[in-house]
Structure 1
């Protein structure tokens, strides 16, 4: 059964736009859990334009489901992982000024960097997921480096889904097969929504987790947060 982790970055973006603490990031995270979410995801960027370091610290003792912290593994990120020891650390190759994640790691080119980072994070008892494009060799590379999971970058799937969903899903099914054979867990994320999520989950039974933020929060404006989370859970199950 695929688990739903709600990325609450957009809640922090809305709060930061006005100042103060409305909406309350911690309360929203707890409400997401209460409404059925099986994990909370944050991506604290260096400029703190959405999730802030203080938010992560405030969440670490409040989140009772899986706490997933995404980020580029610089010194700042590694400090957060050491202090929080979340359920999962998802490594992404974003530049500091990136608007959002737009590509996966080249696990061959960056093998030396990732191997040391993965080993350090594992030493803290934290599961490591590596964000990769749906390419079998990148999945295999992550396995060789000692990762527990890979997260497949699904923007290409979401884009192609509108044209031909059967073609769109093919590289993901193949990458999922390779991940399973390599003993890796499998996550997915980016541009997943109520239109394309069900087909992804049905096509990849081995999918452990999806992380969804932007589309889910946008849908919540119309359907309400509780109802939206239930709609996403229904799409997965």
Structure 2
């Protein structure tokens, strides 16, 4: 084969590889939850436990995050209904979910990226990323795009309740939510056997509802398949 033909073959191969890569999801033009098809999970389970961290200062940025104007959990309807199913099944076992994050506007993700590039002030380092400098979190821990923006991903924990379904307390998972360390990996050998077992109670319960776990984070689950895998949303949470 001549050099020219070899170069042409390589070019065609590279072109084929490039076109086979999945396109980045487009951002929906929707400006309201209704236009985006987003559902408030509390419309399905009015008393589901919410601890929506990014609507408060209780998160790794140390401040309420742009796009979160209210502590509400929005998801696309198939994901919201699947999550409600998981909650109902857990209540039969005297357990409940605690939700930390649901749909995440694109602008919030952009704020996270900007935070990684800001000077370190140390305010949240000990609680969330003691082993890292914040600028190194971009990539492995904080992505420039997020599956949360496709509105079928949730971050949550598990509560153990008494026989009457009251007095619910968090089950020990080994880390807090959004703890940037390999200890937060679902099957981390740094966690105790009991903590890993607790994580798998949550993983199994969510799998029954159709959610898959992200193994880097015990709290992170995505509906499988996603309703709109090629669409992100930037509607503020209000």
Determine if the TM-score, normalized by the shorter chain, exceeds 0.5: no
TM-score interval (norm. to shorter): under 0.3
Taking CA–CA contacts closer than 8 Å with sequence separation of 6 or more, which of the two structures ends up with the larger relative contact order?
2
